[in-house]
Chains A and B, each alone.
Chain A
Amino acid sequence: MTGTGMTGTGMTGPELAGLDRAGRSTRRDRPLLRMLALAATLRGRLALAAVAGALATGCGVALLAVSGYLLARASQHPDITALSVAIVAVRGLSVGRGAFRYAERLASHDVAFRVLARARVAIWRRLERLAPAGLPAFRSGDLLARLVSDVDATQDLFIRGVAPPIAAALVGAGAVTVCVALVTPAGLVLAAGLLAGGVAVPAIGLVAARSANRQLAPARGRFAAAVADLRTGAADLQAFGASGQALDRAERANRELGRLGRRSAAASGLGTGLSALVAGLTLWAALVLGVAATGAGVLGRVPLAVLALTAMAAFEAVTLLPAAAVQLSQARASGRRIAEVLDAPDPVAEPADPLPLPAGPVTIALRDARLRYAPDGPLAIDGVSLDLPPGRRVALVGPNGAGKSTLVSVLLRFRELDGGSATLNGVDLAAFAGDDVRTVIGGCPQDPHLFDASIEENLRIADPAVSGEALRTVLRQVGLDDWVDRLPEGLATRVGPDGARVSGGQRQRIALARALLADPAVLILDEPTAHLDAGSRRQVMADVLAVTRGRCTLLITHDLDGLAQVDEIVVLDHGRVAERGTHAGLLAADGLYRRLWLARAGDDAG
């Protein structure tokens, strides 16, 4: 539960509800339209894709209809010149079908990738303002990964979800027009059939898939839980000889999943059968009507052939629609999640006319700071005052959830205070641009991110222009120089996704080095020893205390060893300052700090 202060889960409910009341909900209710709006200026290219698709399918339908005409006319043994147009048309249509399909695919992929770039930039712009405090559950890596895959899914929407329905509508309308002109009732039957095949069948397919999923979901959940148990509890199960017991449960859940899967097969396979049924019955009905008209002498044998073959081929237009329906429904869900991010309110207001930063030494002061996550929630920070003049080192300690990280987010301008003041040389922090404030107050946020790049690139984020000499100096300060020297690729070694290829201690040290390179006037280090084992913790802590000597530093930590060196220790509890003073003074006071100090025995546990 580290740093619940930053997740801000408490705000989702009331604040979003407030948004609804403000009337912005209408936009959120149409996530699909908003996704499509991303392609607003690409309308021309999108139209090109749709028209090319329509022409490709149309050529296919016309090819069969004209071929039917050709045969029926030939059976009347006219002069060859009567057939020459049809012969040329058949050849042209057959080439056209391939060429237009090719054009459609290129055009739709082009649009899709262009939209992807826009979607990414749009979501990035918004995330950039929101992060980290303004986004519901921002810190959950899973949710972020899903958001990113939602953005990526916009490609599929534009490849499979947009052009095929438009093409189907155009071709369907054309085929129906031809048939209505030949035999009106047959044309109407075709219209009904195409609507059923292109709209009703995909919709039924969606509903069937959804209800099958609903049935499967709880069984899936049970199975996943059983598998997770098997995995996380493997040691306990073996020690207690209970592996068989757990396996039996997983197998039971597995069998139930299999049984439900077999049972829902009939529903899931509904789409294919229905599509074939609708196409077949429509052809049959059109044929019956056409044959009746021919029998009555109203329709010639040539138009009859055209009618039947058109009715048969027209269904090619709707074959892609079930897949398009799935795509649209997924895009809706993705769009809703994206819209949630786009519509989240700003956590901090940027000043319209930001003041320039003062030159020279900087003093940060908090006076009676108060902050709550939700308007009617409890105070997460309650009357905290803090002075950070040049050169002063302050340690912020206290149990999890005491408000330490929330305080940091106020200083970094990720959050706004609800009461009291946060000032820089006496001027309200809110008067400066957030980015400017962060050049003065910076450092190492909680859980610093290492990018999937080289060690050097990760360090240069702090200062792209830094000299190689300065890099070496900082690496030596944080005790990384020997390690880097031993790496075959040295500073060019890639750290892997999320720093997966370096150890926890190295990760924290790289982050510390980065913070030192940025060299802000006020250095904030939020739990630089988190997730480390006892040995590394002691070493990293010692390094932190050594390099921050004489530097204005705010150190958030659970490690109390060595805090005798800092100028002031502020003990936070439930958002309030429980105690403050020096290490010796606080130990003598027999308060929360002393209790934390005595309880820290467990720190040696790995």
Chain B
Amino acid sequence: MNRRLFADAGPARRHLAGTVLAGLAVTVLILAQAGLLARALATAAPGVGAGALRWTLIALGLVVLARAAAAHAGEVSAMRAAAIVKERLRSRLLRHAIRLGPAGDCGQQAGEITALTTSGLDALDPYFARYLPQVVLAGAVPIAVIAAVSSADWISGGIIAITVPLIPLFGALVGMHTKAQTERNWQLLARLSGHFLDVVQGLTTLKVFGRATAQQRVIETVTDEYRAGVLATLRVAFLSALVLELSAALATALVAVEVGLRLLYGQLSYPTALFVLLLTPEAYLPLRNAAAQFHASADGTAAARRAHELLDLPLPAGTTGPDRDGATQVDLPVPDLAVPDLRTTPIVLDAVTAGYPGRPAPVLDRAGVTIFPGDQITLLGRNGAGKSTLLALLLRFAAPTGGTIRVGQVDLAALPLEAWRRQIGWLPQRPALFAWSVAENIALGAPDATRAAIERAAELAGAAGFIADLPDGYDTVLDERALRLSSGQRQKIALARLFLRDAPLLLLDEPVAHLDPASAAEFRAAIGTLRAGRTVIEVAHRPAGWSWPDRAGEQSGPDLVDPAGPSGGRVLLVADGAIAELGGEPGPGYATGPVAGGPALIRLGTAGRPVGRGGPGRG
């Protein structure tokens, strides 16, 4: 058994011990059964019938029952162990997945963890239930049989002792010979299956180009070629099975003939000879069964190995997340530092550089801006210009690779993460809703919120109306299969989260991008009440017909952006790695004066004629 899998077993070890004990019991019972059977067959004679042999027969009956019970117990313990090991592995993988967090390049790992935890680990079931008990028996039974047979007849014992090891030996030899070929076959098989799936998925395309009928020949040929190739390999690969069967059968035949001849010449008693004959096949049976469960073993160990590989992968630097085993956070230099109140403290981005791994140029390059309390900021910029990166930095999903973000006079990186995020309300383009009740979804991150507070938040967000129409109102579980909410409704539930959270800093990432004009207008009105008294940074899409300069500092053309932005506050442009001020008025916090060290408020561009006034996107 895989050592790490055994380490995972933990409380399941009791069950695994049960499996081993059951295996040992089965071994003893096999010996007892052979002895009793030999005795019955050898003693029975005219006049010595079932009555005379009743104790032998009763004992044999009991042994048979006990053997069935032990076999059952062994498998049940193994299944229980499998359930426990799976539960523990799933739990560890989940915690690992949480700590991988939302960072982009961990997507594949996250996908694998999902696949492993939901179905992949089930490969451990046959491994534990079928393979492991057989391995126990394959270890114990041949030794016990050789010992018992040798004590009755050492010559037969010798024959078995010599032939049993031949099975794993020849198996290994043949296996070594065919290993490369077998692996190539598996790859070929996978590729073949992939090819068929590929052409089936592209069938419409093939039809459009008139190639679908011709493809039938290709499928036929490819599959046939595969058959020829695989059968050639199988001819060799099946040799290991041939060796297994042959050595078991030949040994039985050898023992039978040898014992029979010595019996004939009176060198051996009939009960002893029978006992030896009955036990001989038993020595090979568990080995054959274990070999037959080879795939169960291979799949199970592969799943376990994959799980361990995933658990061993280093977490992206600076990730945080709850971990039951110890610290709640990975890097937390000064855990008790108080978070300044964002209602009165400005946030200063000082020459901040940030980017994505694998992307040569940083997205933000020594960008600077001061966010004053009460600011209503509209953030503009082309796709990929760095608007979302700015939000990610403030949310601390990412850390700047250069420069600092200061909250008042304190470095943001030094602040306790949870407490910092508690001051932020985030509304992404597509907020996640969870398969929980509506009330629980609204109370995300605020599990202690009262029902009244939740309902009040829903009302403010304009969500109360449709929630009341849901089958169970606030207790309706948002299960994808049971219920489909429109994007507008989903967005309103996310907005209700913000009302409940009551955070001083709001980060809105194109909140109406996926809404139709009517829902967007309704949504804008609801957001309006939330803005009051808070600092808001809203990534906005470009209203129809508007445009802006491509480069910071470039003189604006005639079709300028509305200087006051949709919210009437500041308008910032993210372009070329920099953040530029386009217009609008800073929030009341600006009155407290610019913060030392922070870049001054610089106006770029000129207030011009707004185009498309009245278009959507202007709340």
Contact = CB atoms under 8 A, between A and B. Distances in A.
A223 B91 CA distance: 11
B197 A145 contact: yes
Interface in B28-59: 33, 37, 40-42, 44-53, 57
A498 to B, nearest CB: 7
A301 interface: yes
Given A75-B273, A83-B260, A145-B197, A277 B65 contact: yes
B10 interface: no
Interface string B523-557: 00000000000000000011110000000000000
A147 interface: yes
Given A71-B274, A105-B238, A261-B83, A295 B51 contact: yes
A148 B263 contact: no
Interface in A200-231: 220, 223-231
Contacts of A272: 71-72, 74-75
Interface stretch (B171-179, B214-222, B351-359): B214-222
A284 B57 contact: yes
Contact of B238 (A68, A102, A124): A102
A265 B94 contact: no
A2 to B, nearest CB: 14
Nearest to A271: B75
Interface string A36-52: 00000000000000000
Contact of B431 (A75, A236, A268, A288): A236
Interface string B274-290: 10011001000000000
B466 interface: no
B456 interface: no
Interface string A498-525: 1000000000000000100010000000
B383 A534 contact: yes
Interface stretch (A245-253, A484-492, A573-581): A245-253
A535 B84 contact: no
Interface string B422-435: 10101011011111
B609 interface: no
Contacts of B74: 272
Contacts of A514: 209
A598 interface: yes
B249 A60 contact: yes
B200 interface: yes
A233 B98 CA distance: 10
B36 to A, nearest CB: 10
B91 A254 contact: yes
Interface residues of A, number: 153
B263 A598 contact: no
Contacts of A224: 118
17 contacts: A72-B41, A74-B261, A109-B231, A113-B226, A124-B200, A148-B196, A220-B118, A229-B435, A232-B432, A238-B101, A239-B397, A240-B426, A245-B447, A261-B82, A273-B72, A449-B204, A450-B202
A233 B434 contact: yes
Contact of B543 (A220, A241, A243, A601): A601
Chain A CB count within 10 A is highest, among B213, B238, B479, for B238
A295 B49 contact: yes
A261 B300 CA distance: 17
A86 to B, nearest CB: 8
Given A67-B256, A308-B37, A452-B198, A131 B249 contact: no
Given A70-B256, A451-B198, 12 more contacts: A67-B260, A116-B227, A121-B220, A241-B422, A257-B87, A273-B71, A276-B72, A287-B57, A295-B44, A308-B37, A449-B205, A451-B202
B227 A117 contact: yes
B263 A461 contact: no
Interface string B194-210: 11111111111111111
Interface stretch (A93-101, A176-184, A467-475, A564-572): A93-101
Interface stretch (A355-363, A380-388, A437-445, A551-559): A437-445
B241 A101 contact: yes
Contacts of B203: 127-128, 131-132
B601 interface: no
Nearest to A80: B264
Majority secondary structure, B binding face: helix
Contacts of A273: 68-69, 71-73, 75
B60 A439 contact: no
Contacts of B489: none
A90 B252 CA distance: 9
Interface in A111-125: 113-114, 116-117, 120-121, 124-125
A110 B229 CA distance: 11
A241 B421 contact: yes
B41 A305 contact: yes
B97 A231 contact: yes
- Would you call the interface of chain A mostly helix, strand, loop, or mixed? helix
Contacts of A70: 256-257, 260
A514 B202 CA distance: 14
A283 B234 contact: no
A59 B249 contact: yes
Interface in B496-512: 497, 501, 510, 512
A240 B497 contact: yes
A258 B434 CA distance: 23
A22 interface: no
Nearest to A101: B245
A292 interface: yes
Contacts, number: 446
A54 interface: no
Nearest to A463: B209
A152 B193 contact: yes
Nearest to A251: B91
Contacts of A114: 227
A78 B95 CA distance: 75
B83 A265 contact: yes
Given A132-B204, A236-B426, A292-B50, A535 B253 contact: no
Contacts of B94: 227, 230, 247, 250-251, 254
B274 A497 contact: no
A455 interface: no
10 closest residue pairs by CB, A with B:
A295-B49, A273-B72, A233-B432, A280-B64, A261-B83, A240-B445, A258-B87, A449-B202, A265-B79, A94-B249
Contacts of B249: 59-60, 63, 93-95, 97-98
A243 B263 contact: no
A120 B72 contact: no
Contacts of B69: 273
Contacts of A195: none
Interface in B80-112: 80, 82-84, 86-87, 90-91, 94-95, 97-98, 100-102, 110-111
Contacts of A117: 219-220, 223-224, 227
B245 A56 contact: yes
Contacts of B395: 238-239
A225 B44 contact: no
A251 B277 CA distance: 54
A412 B129 CA distance: 54
A576 B298 CA distance: 59
A175 B87 CA distance: 46
Nearest to A461: B209
B84 A294 contact: no
A71 B270 contact: yes
Contact of A67 (B205, B213, B261, B277): B277
Q: Which residue of A275, A280, A435 has the most chain B CB atoms within 10 A of its CB atom?
A: A280
Contacts of B322: 243-244, 247
Contacts of A301: 41, 44-45
A128 B207 contact: yes
B613 interface: no
A265 B76 contact: yes
Given A265-B79, A273-B68, A451 B199 contact: yes
A70 B257 CA distance: 8
Given A83-B260, A101-B242, A110-B231, A121 B216 contact: yes
